[in-house]
Structure 1
Amino acid sequence: MSTYLNHSLAHQPGSDQQVASRQPVGSTFGGVQELVPSRYALRVGDIDVVVISDGVLPLPTSTMSTNADPAARAAWFKEMYLGPDAFDWALNVLVVRSGEQIILVDAGLGGQFPGFPRAGQLPKRLEAAGIDLGSVTDVVVTHMHMDHVGGLLVDEVKNRLRPDVRIHVSATEVAFWETPDFTQTVMPSPVPDVLRATARQFIDTYRSRVRTFDDEYQVAPGVVVKLTGGHTPGHSVVYVNSGGERLTFAGDALFPVAFEHPDWHNGFEHDPEESVRVRVRLMREAAASGEWFVATHLPFPSVGRVAVDGDAFRWIAAFWDY
């Protein structure tokens, strides 16, 4: 596997433009605006993948383990040098190029929750990576929570997407948000109303471009979206397969605490028990195959592998190859 910053995603097939410098772009230090990179690229067989950071979202630590003993939760966050009351939740999206198709997987928070200026960074970070929104042929939505579809609702994205872009989301997910059930969630009080409003706005804005699927759908050669349920009834993951290699984008099937404590519930899960079954299955599959694994809320760049560790799991972060 070779890893590089793939500015060529911004250009049409056949372009002879060279891959750009790997240096962070854009600051007041040495003339760049960001001191750390906000994208990380790799190749899965013949398919190009770039992880883009939409920023971070501060959340209460209690949302990570609603069924855990508070002392155990506090101990985990202390061992991770996080908390004690809040921590920064990473927001990662993918851009995938397969053949002539360029696929955006999720779109970050957008402006759906004012007061979180470090999130909703997708438009400028796509631009910094040299990725033209007008070249995106397909969008995959893993689920319709606001930190996955909100980015599609800001003008910088909405006005630059092509009119014939195809937006893929499970039929189950679309149906769920017609009358969403929050009875098993444990969220900060303002969140459910914003989630409802954002999902409704997303459907109203993109209804004519939404393409639903039942169980799974091949978006492009080697790129498949598959329904898992759990986190939301229509939650899906994306598999990238090429040349005997595989990468799974797990969306919100798991969170940083899931490796040591896969049975801990997340407050944003609409079916916590099913979510546990889904994440254990996905992690066991990843450990057995040795595939690359990425998830929305693992620390950026969220590229690594999963190993079995007794009754739990272990995250093995990839060595940055750049």
Structure 2
Amino acid sequence: MTIQNTSHPIKSPPDELVPSRYAVRIGEIDVLVVSDGVLPLPTKMLGYNADPTEHAAWLDGMFLPPDAFDWALNVVVVRSGDQTILIDAGLGLDPDLNLPRAGQLIKRLEAAGIDLGFVTDVVLTHMHMDHVGGLLVDGVKQRLHPDLRIHVAAAEVKFWESPDFSHVSMPPGFPDALRATAKRFSKEYESQLRLFDDEHEVAPGVVVSRTGGHTPGHSVVRVASGKDRLMFAGDAVFAVGFEHPDWYNGFEHDPEEAARVRVRLLRELAETGELLVATHMPFPSVGHVAVDGDHFRWVPVFWDY
């Protein structure tokens, strides 16, 4: 069953209030954004270097609570030619962190009619647990194609051999969980990793490029076909990053470089007009970037029903 046949469901599964997948056509390439759920995290992680008064004003202006809110978790499935590509793999299950509203990817792929056994490639923007954990859920590896290729920057794999958490601002428990998950993932999927240095074409019109910043091997994925373009920016862009691209995300291992990467990507997106999808933008996270004075502005697309 192809993506285009499954992306506009008649109704959501019984336990879902709203649809959890959204389809976009990029020329001849099918793109499906799938929600892995949400992460309830402290608001102070979103711009922890900001002036507290300015930070509070931004939250209030966005009608967000002052203490914690739900960060979206978006994953993308791309169909190019005879390849089905999963970009990131969601959180999976980590009972120690008590995040029951995340880790929904596997069942939502099933609801979309996407058979894990037909996935030919996985691209990882980076190896934080909310991007690799879905592949560590019990029984998932056995359902994957034995020749599955997992594309990830060599710098990312190297980083997680001895990760540096000295510049992050995470809730307690997260550094240990991130470290343990990355180690387990590298061990279980070592033979299927396909490492690249700076840029790699995964399939016709699907190119992954290392940006660094968020993590040393953090990467974005560009999809191009005909006149259409879309970038999946992973964790390089988050909700406050348009108005305040210099505000740090608590999960950034090199926040200064991450801010520079964010500005560069937003400028590129504003100039080209291509679509943007990002992991932690509100679902379905499909929109454009516009220049707004000295900053940027997020312009969501009109939903296509």
Is the structural similarity TM-score above 0.5? yes
- Residue matched to 2:36: 54
Which of 189, 192, 196 is the aligned partner of 1:206? 189
Alignment equivalent of 2:83, drawn from 88, 101, 123: 101
Specify the alignment match of 1:288 in structure 2: 271
2:128 is equivalent to residue 145 of structure 1: yes
When residues 89 and 156 of structure 1 are mapped into structure 2, their CA distance, relative to the original with a 3 A threshold, is farther
Residues 153 and 219 in structure 2, CA contact (< 8 A), matched pair in contact too: yes
User: What secondary structure sits across from 1:92 in the alignment?
Assistant: strand
Give, as a single letter, the amino acid of the residue that structure 1 aligns with 2:122.
V
SS in 1 for 2:73: strand
The structure 2 residue matched to 1:110, chosen from 73, 81, 92, is 92
Q: Of 256, 262, 276, which residue of structure 1 is paired with 2:239? A: 256
Deviation at 1:156, TM superposition (A): 4.4
Corresponding letter in the other structure for 1:111: L
Structure 2 counterpart of 1:8: 2
Q: Is the 8 A contact 1:143 1:169 kept in 2?
A: yes
RMSD value, Cα: 1.3
Q: Which residue of 2 aligns with 1:133?
A: 116
Letter of the structure 2 residue corresponding to residue 215 of structure 1: D
Correspondent of 1:79 among 51, 56, 61: 61
Matched, 1:26 2:13: yes
* 1:4 alignment partner in structure 2: none
Give, in angstroms, the shift of residue 22 of structure 1. 3.2
User: What is the deviation of 1:25?
Assistant: 2.5
**What CA distance in whole angstroms lies between the structure 1 residues aligned with 2:237 and 2:82?**
31
* Distance 1:283-1:113 versus aligned 2 partners, 3 A rule: farther
Question: For residue 47 of structure 1, what is the amino acid of its counterpart?
Answer: I
1: CA distance, partners of 2:16 / 2:104:
12
Per the alignment, do residues 70 and 156 of structure 1 end up closer, same or farther by CA in structure 2, a change over 3 Å counting?
farther
Tell me the SS of whatever aligns to 1:237: strand
CA deviation after TM superposition for structure 1 residue 80, in Å? 1.1
Shift of 1:21: 5.4
Bigger shift: residues 68-77 or 228-237: 68-77
Flag structure 2 segments of 5+ consecutive residues without an equivalent: none
Is 1:185–2:168 an aligned residue pair?
yes
Identical residues among aligned pairs (%): 68
2:292 to 284, 293, 309: 309
Aligned-pair distance for 1:78? 1.3
Match of 1:299 among 282, 294, 297: 282
1:241 equivalent to 2:224? Answer yes
Q: Deviations over 1:84-126 (max 9, x none)?
A: 1001000000000000000000011101354111100001110
Give the TM-score taking structure 2 as reference length.
0.97
CA distance in 1, matches of 2:105, 2:198: 28
Q: Shift in Å at residue 72 of structure 1?
A: 1.3
Residues 25-69 of structure 1 deviation map (CA, whole Å, 9 limit, x = unaligned): 322xxxxx3221000001100000000000000000000011101
Aligned-partner SS, 2:39 = strand
Equivalent-residue separation in structure 1 for 2:88 and 2:95 (angstroms): 17
Q: TM-score, normalised by structure 1?
A: 0.92
- Letter of the structure 2 residue corresponding to residue 9 of structure 1: I
* Contact residue 112 and residue 198 of structure 1 kept, 8 A: no
User: Distance in 2 between the 1:20 and 1:314 partners?
Assistant: 28
Q: How far apart are residue 77 of structure 1 and its match?
A: 1.1
CA distance, structure 2, for counterparts of residue 116 and residue 234 of structure 1 = 26
Deviations 1:183-229 (A, max 9, x none): 11111121101110000000011000000000000000000000000
The equivalent of 2:25 in structure 1 is: 43
In 1: Cα distance, 2:65 partner to 2:73 partner: 18
Kindly tell me the number of residue pairs found equivalent between the two proteins.
Answer: 304
- Give 2:285's aligned amino acid: S
SS of 1:302's equivalent in the other structure is: coil
Residue pair 2:6, 2:112 contacting (<8 A) in 1 also: no
Contact in 2 for aligned 1:9/1:102 (Cα 8 Å): no
Q: Give 3-state SS (helix, strand or coil) of 1:116's partner.
A: coil
Which digits, 9 at most, give the CA deviation of each residue in 1:136-187, with x for residues without a partner? 0000000000100111100242221111100000000000000101111111
Contact 2:156-2:217 at 8 Å conserved across structures: yes
- Aligned AA for 1:287? A
